[in-house]
Amino acid sequence: MKTFLRNISTIVIVSGVLLASCKKDFLSTKPLNQASAEATWSDPNLSTAFVTELYNGLSTGLLDQMNNDCLTDNALYNFGKQDIMEGNVSPDHLSGLQDRYEWNAMYARIRSANISLENLAKAPLDSALVNRLEGEAYFMRAYFYNQLLRFYGGVPLVKSSYSATATDFTIARSSYEDCVNFILSDLDQAAALLSNKTMDKGRATTDAALALKARVLTYAASDLHDPAKLSTISTVSGFAHPELLGYTTSDHDGRWTKAQAAAKAVIDLGKYGYMLNLSAPVSATDGFTNYQNSYLSRNGGEAEIIFARYYSNAKDEWGAWYGRNNCTNGYHGWTSSEPTQNLVDDYEALDGTGAAHDFSWNNPVDAATPYANRDPRFYASILYDGAPWKPRTPDGAGIDPYNEIQMGTYQTGSASAPVAYFGLDTRNGPLENWNGTRTGYAIRKFMDPNPAIVDQNTRSEVPSPQIRFTEVVFNYIEACLELGDEATAKTWLNKIRFRSGMPAVTETGPALVQRYRRERNKEMLFEEQRFFDARRWMIAPTTLGNKVRIMKITGTLKAGKTVPIYRYNTDNYSYTYTTQEIDPGVENRAWADKVYFPPISRDEMNKNNKLVQNPGY
Amino acid sequence: MEYNLHRTVNLLNVSKIALGQLLIALLFVSTSSAGTANISKTKFATSHGAALNKLLAQIKVTGKITDQTTGESLIGVSVKVKGTANGTVTDINGNFTLNVPDDGTLVVSFIGYTTAEVPIQGKTTLNIKLQSANKGLNEVVVVGYGVQKKITVTGSVTAVKGEELVKSPAVNLSNSIAGRMPGVIATNASGEPGYDGSTISVRGINTLGSNAPLIVIDGVPAPAGQTNIDRINPADVESISVLKDASAAIYGARAANGVILVTTKHGKLGKPDLSYTYNHGWAQPTVIPKMANSTEYATMVDEIDLYNLPSQYWSQAWTAFKTTGSFTRPDNGATTTATFSPTDFQKFADHSDPWGHPNTDWFKATLKDWSPQTRQNVQLSGGSENIKYLTSIGYENQDAYYKNSATGYKQYDLRLNVDAKVNKYVNTSIGVSGRQENRFFPAGESAGDIFRMLTRGYPYRPAYWPNGLPGPDIENGQQPVLITTNATGYDRDTRYVVQTNGKIVIDIPNVPGLKVTGNVAIDKYIKEEKTWQTPWYVYSWDNVTKDANGVPVLTKVARGPAQAHLFQSDEDQLSTMLEGIISYDHSFGGHNVTFLAGVQKEKSNQSYFDASRKYYASTAIDQLSWGGNTEIGNSGSAWERARLNYFGRVGYNYKEKYLAEFLWRADGSYMFPTTHRFGFFPGISAGWRISEESFFKDNIKFFQNLKLRGSWGQMGNDQVNRPNSDQLAEYAYLPLYNTNTYIINGAPTQTLTEGTAPNPSFTWETANNSDAALEGTILNGKLDFVLEAFYNVRTNILWAPTASVPATGIPGPLLPPKNYGKVTNKGVEFQFNWHDKIGEVRYNVGINGSYIKNRINVWDEPPGFPSYQTSIGHPIGSQLYYVYDGIFSTQAEVDAFNTAHPGAYSGVGESTIRVGDMKFKDIGNDNGQKVPDGKIDGYDQVRMDAGHTPTFQGGLNFGVQYKGFDLSVLLQGATGAKITLQTESGTIGNFLQWSYDHRWTVDNQSTKDPRTVDRNNQYFSGGYYDSTGKLIGGNTYWLLNMNYIRLKNIELGYTIPPSITSKVGISNLRLYANGLNVFTLAKQNIYDPESTSSDGHYYPQARVINLGASVKF
């Protein structure tokens, strides 16, 4: 009996030990570094944080190392040819695809927007906050869908988030029209939900929703999406699914009327715009300053911003290195996005009376002094030979104590025994010449001119405007032109020109449309417009398809002159300016109709058998 | 075996109940038999006085049993009092304790040895030497939760002794493994001090995710800060065993990739032994990539300029470049000036302009010829009957290859192992080891950055100006001769590791063979890092300005960050392990039975924080609080992990002839959702010692041992990472959000981002490993061999279906793991060891090797893949390649092709073929059929088995001893690995000389090699790896064969005759020299053949020559 009891007690003890070691929650460790969905969507701050993350989908905004304009006639990328510009993209070879349009990146953000909307709908939070957050989520979902739509055409409309346990992930592309309507509906929701809300700088607003709506409607009304015009594209003519790329019925005036009304609604808010109330051109100096203020969003230029992506020194982000990535090698920069001669030639020239004419190399005055008396926006946008710029770093200061851009090959010493001298900002210069420009130009737009910002190792806080008021005005002008209201169009076009010191336009009819298009391109340079404008106006073959032209400058000492340290000076030097096509091995541009609508990657096609590829691939 | 998830739970319950009952039963047995014994004692006491007197005359005898020839301690030796059942077996150190009549006789028997009878004659201490019937049969090997005689082991266990490992001068223990154990694959991908470990895999690649084996040190699985064996002091290692098959099943949960058991040295009975070892070595890179010189580089850069022109002008333009330095196009008058003019070439050739036209060898300018390293160790060990100890103190110091190096590694380590016999029934041991690891680096620049800049460094730019000042940086301040030194600040990474383990073994009184063992381990790991980066200075010349004496005037320029920057971080981990084991060994009538069962709990906690400041008023003070008050940064995080496991072993053998073993483990891991947390992992193995059969023994005399063995087992793996990341996919069953920021109102504002789209239902990945082997000893023990084959099938592989779920569904990085992959991995292994002596010369030769190949059976494949591109059926890591098919070498060929096939290469990015371009094979059409369609696009890629892991790895070792001399040599080799050559060359940086030697030029129109390209700007330049590790646009031309054979290790030693040294109190003094990676024969000599880097942006592997001495007192 005693033994039995002892055995029983042993069993009890051992079982106790076993049970203790099997405490159920021993393995239930907690994630200490992550918030649960449940906690997030019942907490106002965490819910807000989730929605705020959507804005990171804007990526660098416009301020990429390779500006989107490098995929247009405006600029050339310094580091490797962009095969899309040679017409050589394919589903296996997606060249020049930037993450702001990249399929995977956009759908990842769309999923987050869907998760936000699904959870906010049932979140036990203050309804004012829920409305605001829903408004932001609708806006961003529309934004991301529009990025996809304007790049690929109609895309799959994923309206709710998939569960990881879903068995079917395939989904077909929606028609172009359905996508437009879906985006507009999201924007209407956003505008309504955000109305009368005070929004922090950087967040979506009702006004941003209205402005984006104007962009979407402008694009939708454009030639590219009109069935008659669309079908003239060689690759589209035999395409079985034109509804993916444009409307199936024509309604030119109806669509432009909607676009016009949408733009007008933003203008009528009366809250935006910088120096757009002038009735005559400002001086060239003021024009320069005004334009610079408008793109730097300072000194009143903030009023241009309807929606922007901001930078802060408190956070190291790639877009804040725009200066280092794009200033010249003579400043230890990388000159990544280089304006072309094609662009430079498009800036008008001014004469002494203030009248403007199209710059021409056949005009001997223009040709002799190509950088004199140009549209003030040229000076604010582009670093050219002789342009004053920031103090050089110490290794450049001895070579260029004058802080002027050197894009040419010059002579130093005496005219009788000249020594060849390669400009500091060229590919033969003494500083990091492999980063030198190939076109003879560098970008200045969006660079902070503050000399304290030493671009090579200092970030800048220039914001990236995503929707600028001037774009809305242009959209309005374009709608007016399409609807035959030249007077209104001219009034607004002139306001934009007056701000930068340019005289009123004189053209009418088709010439006015041409003038408008050139004006839009220069004003909105490097703002991610050209890639789409050239397509929707269907002028890509004769613009984006042109060979890149570049500038070669030589400065020869004039007789009797002696210059120990080079500086731009027409008293000492005679300059020759030669434009030439870039060597084809660098980038041999040619238009192919298929690149109107870039391809969907083979990877994604392989994963989703309902997808229809864009035509021509 | 596959079982559904719900059955797992049932299996768990079953195993829990089984274990509980087993434990209870064993305890029950112990208590009841104890009771019986007491009762019988009482009986003796009352009715058999004489017997009682006899009992009282017993004395306690302790002893040690060793091998007569080798002096090795023998364990498991049966010691019995003659004529009684009273007996015991020796412990792990060969010791025994027994109460015996003072006039009795001990019968000492052990398989493979001649049985000895030893009369007690009143002695209480006995040292018994057994005569080996056949050496080799008594070797023991450490296995999971125990030690087994090698001849009775039924699993695949391979081992190496510590004394072999210390023959390598490698500071990092993992670098001493390669070539020593078949099936244990070690690849050393970097020689950087502090990060110079080899990646070790057991039987190659078995799964899509982590293939890291489990490390167990002195019975403690993966102690904190110890996911590899890198930093264990080699001098402290008694042995390393590797469990390659189902023998690892006792570690079920984490044993799928094999288990590496490290046993550290313990004290032995005897007088205190003091030994001191000193090693001084010199290291240098095995291979430095040979780069182009100034003339070669300038030629290639001019070729880049040339090839930018329309190809019809190449020939005349090249002539123009060589004569005038520029060419004007006849069609449009555009002038192209070659980057380097004929004058430049003249100056490169005649070395007349050291300022403007140097010829810099950046590697030579930056790296020393030899870099010192030191290893020292003091050990004191000894012990008495009741307490044994071993203390070891080590110091290592390793310098990097750089001149005035900021990089280095130092380690201080201490180990204390104490074994105590508390009383008759209770043995304990306590192990404490601690170490400090100091890693030093230059601030802000990784070895990858440094070697990137060394390979990019322009030969025509000076590392140092003729006056000795450092030349300009390559970019962003990166000047190799500066960023390798403390000129940029410093990065100090200090880690503290303290590992303790305590063990108590209680022999249950009166039940021989029944033991209860308790283990506890507490590990602490602390990592502190401090990075202080300050601006540094280079000297720049504008190529023009000279002083009055005509000497160029240099400008001192600050480079690097605009501001000094301080970053400090602290990481702290505490891991605890608690374990209870009950075991019972019993022998009766030739039947030997072993039971073992245990329960184990493991828990780890980690916390981390960091802080940073900028805008220092003065760089004189490198402390956080002296930084400016803007742009202050900080962050922090934490995690906790837990495991709960039950395990056991049942072993049986009959006369050591028929052997069988069953191992099991029920594992619970926090990695899985609550309902799928536990997995049950069984392993069975069996052996048949044919040589013990009389029909064999009597007929085949030259076999001393022949064993056939086989095993099958299942093991688990929970180490699953997030897609394309090395982060664990923890809590992938919960919807969780990570924190980030976005600028709102001008300041970073908190944001939340989805971490994983949760999968509520996933569980253990299962390894189903089978093994069969034949092992034996022949020719009087002179030749041992093992022939082995294995077949591993990994099922339920946890993998995120990133290749089949479209981006419109769930983005790849958010996909959770699912159980669905299947990979088979099979291979053969062999090992032969011969040892003999010729006169006084003793020698041994061993050869081992393994050939292993895996194949994906099931995994995530895009549904739309053409059949010839699927990765199923191929090894893990296979990639798609365009197939190189020669060169368009002449203009005529190009013209004909462009006419016949306009735009044929548009799909890969080239509209018009030019001369010197590469041809690809036309393989598939747009419908995914293997039919050429006249154009090159994605359908022309084929799947190639070209991974970084060798399929064959082997070693040949050779040792000779003659009088005081000893020599040991290890040749090691591998075949089957490939890498893709991808350098960052062109206008951005220098070319390999290989590229110069292998290129098409206008003057030499190669049919084999393409023309010079700038970086990777042509369709044929080799492609790139995307963020998921997939090669995009690669072709087979660039594949490098990494086969090699190398003199991995050689050591020559001389022991000064003890007759001389003993006069000064030294019992043993040995001097030796050894080397690592002394000599290599490789298929390619661009990079070290163990390299896994495509571009040379890594710290090369080391060749080490070392001199050492060891002294024993």
How far apart (Å, rounded) are the C-alpha atoms in residues A300 and A296? Answer: 10
> Residue A194: helix, strand or coil by DSSP?
helix
How far apart (Å, rounded) are the C-alpha atoms in residues B1027 and B1033? Answer: 14
Q: Do B864 and A86 touch (CB under 8 A)?
A: no
B1007-1048 per-position pLDDT tens digit:
999 999 998 889 999 888 888 888 888 999 999 999 999 999
| C-alpha distances out from residue B447 to A459, B91, B451, Å | 26, 49, 6
Is the CB of residue B1015 less than 8 Å away from at least one CB of chain A? yes
Residue B281 forms beta bridges with which residues?
Answer: B373, B1106
CB pairs under 8 A between A and B: 325
Q: Are residues B872 and B943 in contact, defined by beta-carbon separation less than 8 angstroms?
A: no
pLDDT of residue B133: 61
- DSSP 8-state class, residue B62: E
Q: Do B752 and A586 touch (CB under 8 A)?
A: no
Which residues of chain B have a CB within 8 Å of the CB of A585? 307-309
For the cut 60, the answer to whether the pLDDT of residue A431 exceeds it is yes
- DSSP 8-state class, residue A334: -
Which residues of chain B have a CB within 8 Å of the CB of A50? 737, 751-753
The share of chain A scoring above pLDDT 90, in percent, equals 90
A4-28 mean pLDDT: 55
Which residues of chain A have a CB within 8 Å of the CB of B940? none
Other beta carbons within 10 angstroms of residue B383's beta carbon come to: 22
Give Cβ neighbours of residue A472 (< 8 Å, ≥ 6 apart): A211, A214, A215, A263, A266, A267, A272, A306
For chain B, positions 4-43, list CB contacts with chain A under 8 A: 16, 19-20, 23-24, 27-28, 31-32, 35
Length of chain A: 617
How far apart (Å, rounded) are the C-alpha atoms in residues B898 and A206? Answer: 56
Among candidates B731, B752, B805 on the partner chain, residue whose Cβ is nearest the Cβ of A46 = B752
pLDDT of residue A388: 97
Chosen for mutation from A42, A65, A79, A88 (greatest number of chain B CBs closer than 10 Å) is: A88
How far apart (Å, rounded) are the C-alpha atoms in residues B759 and B746? Answer: 38
Q: Are residues A214 and A472 in contact, defined by beta-carbon separation less than 8 angstroms?
A: yes
Among candidates B20, B670, B909 on the partner chain, residue whose Cβ is nearest the Cβ of A95 = B909
Amino acid found at A393? T
Among candidates B309, B557, B814 on the partner chain, residue whose Cβ is nearest the Cβ of A393 = B557
pLDDT of residue A613: 97
Is the CB of residue B552 less than 8 Å away from at least one CB of chain A? no
**Two structure tokens written together for A224:** 């590219």
Which residues of chain A have a CB within 8 Å of the CB of B862? 603, 606-607
**Two structure tokens written together for B235:** 């001098």
How far apart (Å, rounded) are the C-alpha atoms in residues B371 and B286? Answer: 13
How far apart (Å, rounded) are the C-alpha atoms in residues A580 and B751? Answer: 50
pLDDT of residue B150: 86
Strands B591-613 and B633-654: antiparallel
* Beta-strand runs (E) in B68-119: 78-81, 87-89, 95-101, 105-109, 116-119
Give Cβ neighbours of residue B973 (< 8 Å, ≥ 6 apart): B179, B952, B953, B954, B955, B1043, B1044, B1045, B1046
Strands B214-217 and A75-77: unpaired
Strands B259-264 and B214-217: parallel
Chosen for mutation from B36, B609, B672, B742 (greatest number of chain A CBs closer than 10 Å) is: B742
For the cut 90, the answer to whether the pLDDT of residue A166 exceeds it is yes
Q: Say which residue the tokens 């096939």 belong to.
A: B901
Exposed/middle/buried for B675, CB within 10 Å: 0-12, 13-18, 19+? Answer: middle
Q: Say which residue the tokens 């003793």 belong to.
A: B842
**Two structure tokens written together for B264:** 């550290």
Q: Are residues A452 and A465 in contact, defined by beta-carbon separation less than 8 angstroms?
A: no
Q: Are residues A175 and A155 in contact, defined by beta-carbon separation less than 8 angstroms?
A: no
Other beta carbons within 10 angstroms of residue B841's beta carbon come to: 12
How far apart (Å, rounded) are the C-alpha atoms in residues B23 and A411? Answer: 95
Q: Are residues A490 and A512 in contact, defined by beta-carbon separation less than 8 angstroms?
A: yes
Which residues of chain B have a CB within 8 Å of the CB of A17? 580
Chosen for mutation from B27, B733, B743 (greatest number of chain A CBs closer than 10 Å) is: B743
> Residue A253: helix, strand or coil by DSSP?
helix
φ, ψ of residue B991 in degrees (nearest 5): -100, 155
**Two structure tokens written together for A143:** 């934004």
Q: Are residues B123 and B206 in contact, defined by beta-carbon separation less than 8 angstroms?
A: no
Q: Are residues B888 and B916 in contact, defined by beta-carbon separation less than 8 angstroms?
A: yes
Give Cβ neighbours of residue B562 (< 8 Å, ≥ 6 apart): A454, A457, A458, B535
**Two structure tokens written together for A448:** 């902070």
Could you write out the three-class secondary structure of B849-878? EEEEEEEEEECCCCCCCCHHHCCCCCCCCC
For chain B, positions 244-303, list CB contacts with chain A under 8 A: none
Q: Do A56 and B674 touch (CB under 8 A)?
A: no
**CA quadruple B665, B666, B668, B672: dihedral sign:** positive
All residue ranges of chain B with pLDDT < 50 are: 1-12, 14-15, 17-19, 21-56
Is the CB of residue B757 less than 8 Å away from at least one CB of chain A? yes
| C-alpha distances out from residue B41 to B35, B46, B47, B48, B52, Å | 10, 9, 10, 10, 9
**Two structure tokens written together for A47:** 């819910």
Residue B612 forms beta bridges with which residues?
Answer: B567, B633
Which residues of chain B have a CB within 8 Å of the CB of A32? 637-640
How far apart (Å, rounded) are the C-alpha atoms in residues B309 and A580? Answer: 13
pLDDT of residue A394: 87
Which residues of chain A have a CB within 8 Å of the CB of B941? 92
Length of chain B: 1113
Min Cα–Cα distance to chain A from B735, Å: 5
Expressed in percent and rounded to 5, the helix, strand and coil fractions of chain B are: 15, 45, 40
Give Cβ neighbours of residue A189 (< 8 Å, ≥ 6 apart): A134, A135, A138
Q: Do B937 and A27 touch (CB under 8 A)?
A: no
b/e map A223-233, b = 16+ CB within 10 Å: bbbbbebbeeb
How far apart (Å, rounded) are the C-alpha atoms in residues B292 and B239? Answer: 47
Q: Are residues B1094 and B979 in contact, defined by beta-carbon separation less than 8 angstroms?
A: yes
How far apart (Å, rounded) are the C-alpha atoms in residues B275 and B281? Answer: 20
Among candidates B476, B639, B746 on the partner chain, residue whose Cβ is nearest the Cβ of A310 = B746
For the cut 50, the answer to whether the pLDDT of residue A1 exceeds it is no
- DSSP 8-state class, residue A426: S
Amino acid found at B350? D
Cα nearest neighbour of A549 on chain B = B334
pLDDT of residue A395: 87
**Two structure tokens written together for A342:** 């094609």
Confidence of residue A202 (pLDDT cuts 50, 70, 90): very high
Confidence of residue A17 (pLDDT cuts 50, 70, 90): low
Give Cβ neighbours of residue B283 (< 8 Å, ≥ 6 apart): B191, B370, B371, B372, B373, B398, B399, B401, B1102, B1103, B1104
| C-alpha distances out from residue B114 to A372, A378, B303, B458, B782, Å | 108, 102, 81, 74, 19
Min Cα–Cα distance to chain B from A483, Å: 38
Q: Are residues A168 and A236 in contact, defined by beta-carbon separation less than 8 angstroms?
A: no
Q: List, as one string, the DSSP characters of A515-534.
A: HHHHHHHHHTTTSS-HHHHH
A389-398 per-position pLDDT tens digit:
999 998 898 8
Kindly list the strands in the beta sheet with B58-67, ordered across the sheet, starting from the edge strand earlier in the chain.
Answer: B95-101, B58-67, B125-130
Q: Do B644 and A56 touch (CB under 8 A)?
A: no
Residue B57 half-sphere exposure toward CB, CA atoms < 13 A:
13
